[in-house]
Amino acid sequence: MPEHHLSEEILMAYAAGSLPEALSLVVASHITLCPVCRSKVETYEALGGSLMEDISPASLPESALSNIFAVLDSDEGAEEKTVPWGGTFTPSQQERERDPLPRPLRDYLGENLSALPWRPVIRGVEEAEITLGSNGARTRLMRIPAGVAMPRHTHGGEEITLVLEGGYSDAGGHFGRGDVQLADPSVDHQPVADDGEDCLCLVVSDAPLKLTGPIGRWLNPFISY
């Protein structure tokens, strides 16, 4: 079970279909591995038809949001996954297969990870760009050898990382399979991969966070990472 989750705002924007493709892929992959966030997305999607589309953002009282979250708190632990592009499956099937990639990501990348355009970065770290045809976001897989420390770095823009295999630690704590970490230019960190297992991550950088659609426009002021 992941310990580092996506914000309510991101999950809500995802449910509303307002996220850019690269961020949407991160959310879809996280909720495949995280029953807590998946349950929230399902609730937002259910609310979307009955509530959100009819609400003018300007008239939404503050209490409405807390009411939504109260509903969410009482609705955790759903077992079946619903994926926005259709179909459902159970987590246990994928866990048995030991596929490091959540199904949404596997659907993008195909069966053969080694066929991706891997290139060396530093200290044995490799990365492979993923072409999403999206507007400005840079999406890549990154593999950090077990025990290796990445160079200390800051970010030129927002960056979101999803751990797919192995794990790493930095000043923000430990991040294992399914965990997400948000970083902005103010974050100065030095991730160190766990001993014993290479760390495989999905990283989206400089993702355009300007959201579209009625819900997206309403949420923009709340996007703070």
Q: Does 12 bind Zn ion (CB under 5 A)?
A: no
Shortest approach of Zn ion to residue 10 CB, angstroms? 10
Pick 77 or 196: Cβ nearer Zn ion: 77
Closest CA to 20 of 136, 192, 178: 136
Among 34, 41, 137, 162, binds Zn ion (CB under 5 A): 34
Q: Name the one range near Zn ion by CB under 5 A: 13-21, 32-40, 57-65, 188-196.
A: 32-40
Q: What distance in Å separates the CA atoms of residue 50 and residue 39, rounded to the nearest whole number? A: 17
Q: Does 5 bind Zn ion (CB under 5 A)?
A: yes
Relative to beta strand 180-183, strand 81-82 is unpaired
Pick 37 or 72: Cβ nearer Zn ion: 37
Residues 37-96 that bind Zn ion (CB under 5 A): 37
Shortest approach of Zn ion to residue 39 CB, angstroms? 9
Pick 37 or 68: Cβ nearer Zn ion: 37
Residues that bind Zn ion (CB under 5 A): 5, 34, 36-37
